[in-house]
Structures are given as structure tokens and as C-alpha cells.
Structure 1
């Protein structure tokens, strides 16, 4: 039998390796930024075009590379940090696998320019699909510039799997935030399609957070500081009243490296136990410093998940540190009653000791405070009740002053009124055909049996079709606010709102002013409470950034779905009988009453035959 196992060609092996390292343009951004940080830079520029599909460029002012190093950097498993396996547990740098540039060069057009401080000129290398097309001397400033163009040009299938530009840009911004938050001692500038999106100067950690998420963030932060033999914690957590429905502002950094850990996230959530509303999540920006020998970073291709030696100890320390900070800054509630100043010890008696003997109380039982007063004679008063034969006698003898005679009541005519039935008449009672079960389902009777409706999903369908109609015909009613509503958001969130501003106005929102970090609203859709506006917009921003509709859906459809999800009747809300019937009638007036906007079943039916079988 012929041999069937063979070695893969290098370019195919590189493309397969690239699939693990480079999943989307944000992966390229992450790898290039980490390499720039390892080069000792204090100023890094990130330039993006078309959400990274056309260009991803990172420019740093680090130490640069020699001609040989520049060429070797594109070889697989080429690294300057690892000499043996033990070095994996002594890592203090970012890129250590030596696969980043090799993987990127296998699926894109890459141009590298680099120059060391003591050299007069630098070197440039141009690669296409793992092949070196040119290598030459070039005049370039100190540091390194890497340009990645036409990502996935030789793998069309991978390129087709990329999401829309808005979603890919969202992932790039997330990676940029993670790297920038971990290194406040480095200045970062981010350009998107020629426009400056972020300009983050060198600063302390708190100022870096404020520069990224807006000035309003400063008042939301509570500092956390703790240092033990096992773990050092520094950073900030958010106040409970500013908790959001999304998990966007949750960052863990271990030894200046962003990580994801559901276990440690649970420690934070338990520290906030009893302080957060249902469905909300607290923000945190925490730096954890541990011994590199106690963690294993090399367990995931993206290096965002690491393994700890003693997770239970870290959990307990982290939970206690956060809880202590919330209590120290009067964020957490404490059992403290209002102090009465009358019960305080007088100042002149504070140094006196308490008496050893019990004080005695003397009472003069013969004391009478009224013995010197003269007795008061009481006067008897008698009242004689005149009998009245009928109610007419009450008006006998009454005459109005200034008038000659009293008006004759016999001349007054009263209009006849139709007889009305009392609204509390027990004999006549309106019958209802709907019932609410566990404040979640509405049960209604039909000819063939009964109908069970999920009230939350049903209301979502009703609102979705209403908002979709308003957005289509561009005419919705708006209720004006007595006082303008001023809401604060970060720069990228404001950009999303500006993008959806026209569609939001068609649903009933009225914007009077849109600034860099805040918006002013003077009108909201009819039926939307003022307190829900910020929640609706936060949910909408999250949906636009993270949830991508299919290609046959538009941003209008996504907006209608998001608003319907935010404003729909929640599970657990009690409904009156007329509200239940109105919901049922509105649901079956929809074009597609069977499913919610998320394609989930809104109601189920059970026939009488099916019920009969239950009793057999």
C-alpha cells in the first residue's frame, strides 16, 4: 500500500498557523501593538483603514531591529524572549511565541521599516504571502513601522467570514483599549480612516481610564489597593449606581496583560452582592501582580486565558479587597442608626468614671399640685330637643334678610335622570377570558382549547412592528420633556448615536445638542419613561456594536429590535385584566404573531383533546 502521510508545504503550514493567531483584523492590531511595547516604545501610533481590511499600521519609536533580525522576525517560532521551556514561566513581555509576523505575512501584504538608534539608515522588507519580494535600505526614523495591507487576500473564504466594518472596528477598539489601559506610561494615538479617534498622552492609571471612557467616568471610580505575599491588587471599581446592563467596562490585567477569567469575575460579582439591580454589571479596571512562576499564559492561542496555581486564594483576596474598598468609601450599606446628640456624654463628664452604686430616687407621695387652687363651680346646661314631624318643619320660619318672602320650593323643578346600575352591583359582573400565570404567561380560552402566551416575547413582537412601521414611514409621535435630559457617553458611544441619530428621530427621540461626551434630549417616544432613556440607548449601543444582523437586514431593523427588547413588558410584571386582553388583541393583529423579533415562540396552544388525554 502506498504511503499517504506527507509533510505540508511551508506556505500551507503558515496559513494554517495564521488561522490560530489571526482571526480578524483586531488580532493583527493586538500582535503588532504588543511587539511595539516589547520594543521599549513610549509613543505608539495605530492607523486603521476600512476596519483593518485595507490597512493596519503600527508605528513605534522603540529600539528597532538590525538587518538580520528584521529578516528572521518573519520566520516561524522566531523569538528573542525564549531560550528554553523554563523561560515560559519567567515571562515579563508580550509576544514570545514568534508566530505573529510569520502568520500575518502568510495571509497579507506586509511592509516592515525599522531603524536602530545608532544606525544612519534603516531597513525595509516587503512580503506577500510568506514570500520576500524586496529588501532594501531606507531612510526612516528610529523605531519600527509595520504595515499590513489586504488582509486574507489569498484566502477569500476567510475574508468572506469577516463581519461588517462597524463590528470589526468595534473589536479593534476593544483590543486598543486593553493594551492602552495596561500601559498608561506609553502614549497612544489611534487614527481611523484619517480621523483621530483617540489621543492618549502618558498619564497615571486613573487619568488613562478617564481619557478613554470620558470625563464623567472620574466620579464613578472607587480605588482598590491591596498587597499580600501572594497577590498585589491596584486599580478601580465602579460605584453600584453606575452599573450597566452590558459587560463592556470590565478589565482584568495580570502582570500588565489583559485576561478573561469567569472565576475572578465571579469574585467581583460576589463583592457587589446586594448592591446591584438585577441584570446589571459593575465596571472594574483591576491590575493583578503575581509571581510569573505561578501562572501559565501559554494555554490559549490568543493568550487571553491563563491558568493560576492557587485560584481559591486569589478569589478570596480579590473579593475581600473590593468589598473593603466599597465599604471604606461609604459605597456599601452598613448597619448604622442615626445618633442622637442628646445621648452623648457631656464634655465635662467625659473623664469621670461611672458610679459603682445604684442611684436612689426619692418621691414625695403627698404632693398635690392642685391643692392651692379655688374650686370652680360648674354650671348646668340643659338642651331641649324640639320634635320634628317631618323634614319640611326644619325650614319653617326661615327668612332671608333683605328679601320679602322665602322662595317657594314647590316651584322648583328637577330634571329627570335615567336610572343607572351601580358599578358595584354584584348581580352584573363582567366576565374576562384571560388570566395571568406566575406574572409571566397569559392564559386565554379559544374554541379548541386554551392559549398560553409569553407576555415578554409577545410585547416584543408588538413593539417591534410598531417601531419598524414608524421608521419606515418616518413619522412617530414624540412627547416633549419638561426639562432637557443630559446623558454622558464615551467618544465611541457618541459616534454610534450620531450614526443612528436620524433613525432615532424617526422613532420619536428629539436631540437638541450632541457634544463630544454628552447628548441633550428634549423629546422621547410616546410611552417611554424618562428614567428608561439612558438604559435604552446603552442597550442600543451594545446591540449595534456586538450583534450583527444578517446581510438581508438593515440598521433600521436592528434599531427596532433593540428598542422593542428594552421597552417590552418584563417577566414578573403584573398586568390588569384589560391590559392582558389588550396585549392578546394587539399580538394577533401583528403580521407575524407566532415568533418574537429574535425568532422565539410567543405562544403555544393546547386543545381540549390534549387536556383530556392528561386525565386518562
Structure 2
């Protein structure tokens, strides 16, 4: 019987393995920069063309390699970082698997130049698809230069799955920024299409953040310094007033390595508690220092995922570190509560104390709150039953709801208005017992009565559908309905956002934005769409850009559709916005004038109808 199993040739195995290490141009940038950092470089230069598809070149002034090491570096699992099994328990370098260069060379044309300080001549190696086509001695500077050309040239299917240049550039930019933040003691240069994006000098972390994000973002950061004998947490977090609608600027570093940990990121977010609105996210640049034996970074070739030995303890440590920083900066109000009311654990928990009023439950008990010694005193309420056995008789909460009369009082003995009339008078116009045919519920839903049908409208989804169709009409007809600003404003964007604006400049003009692109990534805003509320015009444009980028990654939409949905999402009225009766009626009229009134641009329903028959079924009144 013939044998069917065989060992794959090395070049095929390398090409398969490259799929895990090299998913897109950004992965090449990450691996090469990490190698430069491990080599002790003091200056790293990144050069890209065609969003990394045509060229990715990283030049450093690190230790370099001798000729033998340069040849060996293209072999799989060739590394200088580890040599013994125990070394995996104490990894202190960014790279250690020895897969990067072999994987890159398997799917690209690579040129390596390198020289150590002890060698007079350097080594030049050209490797195409894991085949060395040239190997010679050359004159070159100390350090290493690696140029990766025509990525995925021999795997066209992989190349076809790459995103647009704008998207791939954004991924490269984000990786470069993460490495530059973590290694602020190293100078970095970033050149894209012969244009200098960054020239960052070595300095402090605060200086690096200022040079990357600008004075506005850096000026709204708070320094974190929290440690014990085993752990340390340092870096910066944003003030609660300076948040974003996405998690783009949330950076967590473990022993100076950028990692992704949903648990620890949530620990940071949860420390803000009610200081930020739902859907807002703080920026943070935090560095966690931990014994390497307490975590495992060797989970995936990308080395982004990490497993912790004591994740719960780390969660508490990070959360407390962020919370205490906010408290020190007078951003959290402490409430003094005697330990006699709370359990020992609750009394010692500052987060619990700060949010004691957040939760409410209907128990028939009401804490007696009085101001004493600058704090609040909670006294146990007498819950003993009254003469008639009513446990709620002495509850001030109930009396406030129903007036000063006891709820046990006979309704027929009430003088003046009847109990029913009192209830109608005490309810506001938003109440379900209002005699109006339209009202707003919880500042989120519009309740509209049509004969025997109750129509419930999601005000955000409805307005989003209206704005979406209006935006599409403007984009298709180049309507350009603009309200000019009295004085133009100027905003400075990061390189990625500036490229986004440049790529959709005509479409933004059709929507109603009157903008002018200027040098040094500045944008002059002279007008905004006519249906956008006057306010923070710079924030309006920034939120639109952020939403556009988010949809581009998650939904891969056509440019105009993406822009229309982003515009509608960011400028629609939100849950929590109060609407007058006239505004609600106007919204309903506009909703039923669009082509597709029943779903928002994302497919969620805008309207739910409840007929009398459906309500009767809910109350089991059918057949009565």
C-alpha cells in the first residue's frame, strides 16, 4: 500500500506559516520595528509606499549582524533571544520566536543590509520568496536596513484581500504610534510617499504624547503612578471631560509591549463609573510592569494576546490605580458613610462609597439622610408595621408619590379632588396617563396614539433614517446646503484623519461642509451642513471622521454610503434629548416622507406598533 503522508518542502511550509505572522503590511512594520528595538537602536526610520504594498523599509542604528548571523536570520526559528526552555518563562525582548524574517521573505522580495561596529564592511542579502538571489559584501552604516518590496507578489489571492490604501495606511500608522509611545527614549521618523509624517525626538512620555497628538489631547491627560512591591502602573489617562466615541486611543503596555486585554481595558473604563456618558471611552496610555513568569505572551505569533496567572487581582489593581488617580485630581466626589450601615467590605470600597446613590430599589424602606460633620449620615428606618399591618405606612417615599394622605384612608372620605383627579394633576405631560395623543417616554421613545393602535418610535433611529436619505440625496445631487460660520475655525488632524478628509473632500462639500485643507495637516472650517446644530464645529467634523473610519473597518461600505451613514449616526438626535410636541410631530411627518421609514440605515426597526388586540392578549382579555 503506498504512503500518502509526506513532509512539505521548506518553501511551502514557510509560505503557510507566513499567513499567521504576516496578515497585512502592518504586521511587517510591527515585526521589523520590534527587531530594531531589540537590537538597541536609538533611531528608527520607517519608509513606506503604496500603503506598504510596494515598499516597507525600516532603517536603524542598532547593533547590526555579522555575515553568518545575517544568512541564518532568514531560517525559521532562528533567534538570538532565547536558547533554553526556561527562557520562555522570563522573556524580556519583544521578539523571541524567530519566525518574522523567514515568514516575510516567503511572501515578498527582501533586501537586507547590515553591519556591526566591529566589521569594516557590511553584508547584503537579497531574498525573494525564501530563495537567496544575491549575497555579497557592501559599504553601509552600522545597524540594519531591511527593505520589503512587492508584498504577497507570489500569493496574489492574499494580495487581493488587502483593503484600500487608506485602510492599510491607518493600520501602519496606529502600529507606528504605539511603538513610538512605548519607546519614547528612541527617536523615530516616519515617511510615507516621500512625505515626512513624523520626526519624533527622544524625550519623556509626556513630550512624545504632545508631539503625536497635539496640545489639546496632551493637555487633557492626568498622570498615573500606582505601584506596590509586585506591580506598577504608570502612564496617562484622559480627564472625564475629554473622551471619544471609540477605543482608538486606548493603549495598554505590558513590560513595554503593546498588548490587548479586554479585562484590563474594562478595568480602566469601569473606574470612571458615572463620570463619563454611556458610549464614551477614555483615552489611556498605561504601562503595567509585571514579573514575566506571571503571564504568557506566547499565545499567538502576533504576540498581542496575553494570558495572566492572576487576572482578577490585576483587574482590581488597575481599576484602583485609575480610580485613585481620578480621586487625587478632585474628579470623584467622596461620600462619607458610617461603617455601621455597610458591610466591612462595602465600607472599605471607595468605588462603592462614591456611587452609593447610583442604584435604587423599591423595598418600602427609605434611608434617612441628614448632613452631619460635612458628610451624610444614614439611619435605619423604622420598618415595623402600622396599626393596620401596612409595612409602607411610615414610608416618606410612598407619601411623596401619593400626597400627604395615608394610602389606607378611605377614598370616599377624601375631600376636594378625588384620588384619580389628584393622580392626573400630579403626573407631568410625559406620563402615560396624559390626555395628549403624543408624548415622549424616557426621552428616548415617541409614543403616538392612532385610534386603536399605539405607535412607538425610536427617536434616534427615526432621525437617523431621515438624515441618511437626505445625505444620500445631497451626495447624488451635489446639493451643498451650507450654513456659513461667522468666523472660521481651524483644527489640526492626525495623518490618518487628514488623509480621510482629503479622500472624501468632494463628498463632504456635497453634504454641506465648507472646508479648506491647509499645510501641516490643518483644516479650515468655514461652514457646516444647514441641518447641523451650531456648536463645537471641530468636534462635529472629528466625530464624523471617526465614525467613517469605524464603518470602513467593520462594514467595508462604499464611500458615499459610508459617509451618509456616518453623517446620519453622528448628527441624529440621541436618546436623552428632550423633544417638544411640535418637534415630535415634525419628526414623524419627515419619517413617513422617506423611502424606507420602517428601519434605520443599519437595519434596526424605527417603529413598533401595538394594536388593541395585541394589548388585550397581553392582559389575557381575549374572549371577554
Structure 1 partner of 2:252: 252
Give, in whole Å, the separation in 1 of the partners of 2:334 and 2:503: 44
Structure 1 partner of 2:66: 66
Q: Give yes or no for contact 2:166–2:499 (8 Å, CA) kept in 1.
A: no
Structure 2 partner of 1:307: 307
Shift of 1:202: 1.0
- SS class of match (2:542): helix
User: 1:600 and 2:607 equivalent?
Assistant: no
Give, in whole Å, the separation in 1 of the partners of 2:46 and 2:444: 50
- SS class of match (1:240): coil
Q: Give yes or no for contact 1:126–1:134 (8 Å, CA) kept in 2.
A: yes
What stretches of structure 2 of length at least 5 have no aligned partner? 337-434
Pick closer, same or farther for the CA change 1:580–1:216 going to 2, 3 Å: closer
Structure 2 partner of 1:295: 295
Structure 1 partner of 2:108: 108
Give, in whole Å, the separation in 2 of the partners of 1:280 and 1:541: 16
How do 1:330-479 residues align onto structure 2 when only pairs under 5 Å count? 330-333=330-333, 436=440, 438-442=442-446, 452-479=456-483
Shift of 1:320: 2.4
Give, in whole Å, the separation in 2 of the partners of 1:151 and 1:64: 24
How do 1:519-538 residues align onto structure 2 when only pairs under 5 Å count? 519-531=523-535, 533-538=537-542
Give, in whole Å, the separation in 2 of the partners of 1:63 and 1:572: 59
Give, in whole Å, the separation in 1 of the partners of 2:335 and 2:489: 35
User: 1:510 and 2:514 equivalent?
Assistant: yes
Structure 1 partner of 2:38: 38
Structure 2 partner of 1:216: 216
Structure 2 partner of 1:278: 278
Shift of 1:514: 4.4
- SS class of match (1:81): coil
Q: Give yes or no for contact 1:24–1:162 (8 Å, CA) kept in 2.
A: yes
Shift of 1:121: 1.5
Shift of 1:299: 1.3
Q: Deviations over 1:419-450 (max 9, x none)?
A: xxxxxxxxxxxx98656555444455779966
How do 1:16-55 residues align onto structure 2 when only pairs under 5 Å count? 16-55=16-55
Pick closer, same or farther for the CA change 1:278–1:19 going to 2, 3 Å: same
- SS class of match (1:57): strand
Shift of 1:573: 3.7
- SS class of match (1:184): coil
Give, in whole Å, the separation in 2 of the partners of 1:551 and 1:91: 38
Structure 1 partner of 2:197: 197
Give, in whole Å, the separation in 2 of the partners of 1:329 and 1:473: 51
Shift of 1:484: 4.2
Pick closer, same or farther for the CA change 1:85–1:530 going to 2, 3 Å: farther
- SS class of match (1:197): strand
Shift of 1:541: 2.0
Shift of 1:70: 1.0
Q: Deviations over 1:488-547 (max 9, x none)?
A: 543443443344344323322334784636544343222322335344323222233333
Give the superposed CA RMSD: 2.8
Give, in whole Å, the separation in 1 of the partners of 2:153 and 2:607: 48
Q: Give yes or no for contact 2:502–2:517 (8 Å, CA) kept in 1.
A: no
Give, in whole Å, the separation in 2 of the partners of 1:523 and 1:592: 30
Structure 2 partner of 1:497: 501
Q: Give yes or no for contact 1:214–1:491 (8 Å, CA) kept in 2.
A: no
Match of 1:540 among 518, 538, 544: 544
Q: Give yes or no for contact 2:166–2:500 (8 Å, CA) kept in 1.
A: no
Structure 1 partner of 2:561: 557
Q: Give yes or no for contact 1:114–1:124 (8 Å, CA) kept in 2.
A: yes
Q: Give yes or no for contact 1:456–1:570 (8 Å, CA) kept in 2.
A: yes
Pick closer, same or farther for the CA change 1:8–1:434 going to 2, 3 Å: farther
Structure 2 partner of 1:589: 593
- SS class of match (2:567): helix
Give, in whole Å, the separation in 1 of the partners of 2:469 and 2:485: 25
Structure 1 partner of 2:83: 83
Q: Give yes or no for contact 1:494–1:516 (8 Å, CA) kept in 2.
A: no
The normalised TM-score by structure 1 is 0.78
User: 1:229 and 2:229 equivalent?
Assistant: yes
Structure 2 partner of 1:341: none
Structure 1 partner of 2:570: 566
Structure 2 partner of 1:141: 141
Give, in whole Å, the separation in 2 of the partners of 1:45 and 1:114: 15
Give, in whole Å, the separation in 2 of the partners of 1:112 and 1:447: 78
- SS class of match (2:184): coil
Pick closer, same or farther for the CA change 1:544–1:49 going to 2, 3 Å: farther
Give, in whole Å, the separation in 2 of the partners of 1:20 and 1:203: 35
Q: Deviations over 1:137-173 (max 9, x none)?
A: 2222111111111111122221121111111111001
Pick closer, same or farther for the CA change 1:483–1:575 going to 2, 3 Å: same
Q: Give yes or no for contact 2:116–2:142 (8 Å, CA) kept in 1.
A: yes
- SS class of match (2:224): strand
User: 1:117 and 2:121 equivalent?
Assistant: no
- SS class of match (1:272): helix
Q: Deviations over 1:289-346 (max 9, x none)?
A: 111121211112211121222223322332222222223233334579xxxxxxxxxx
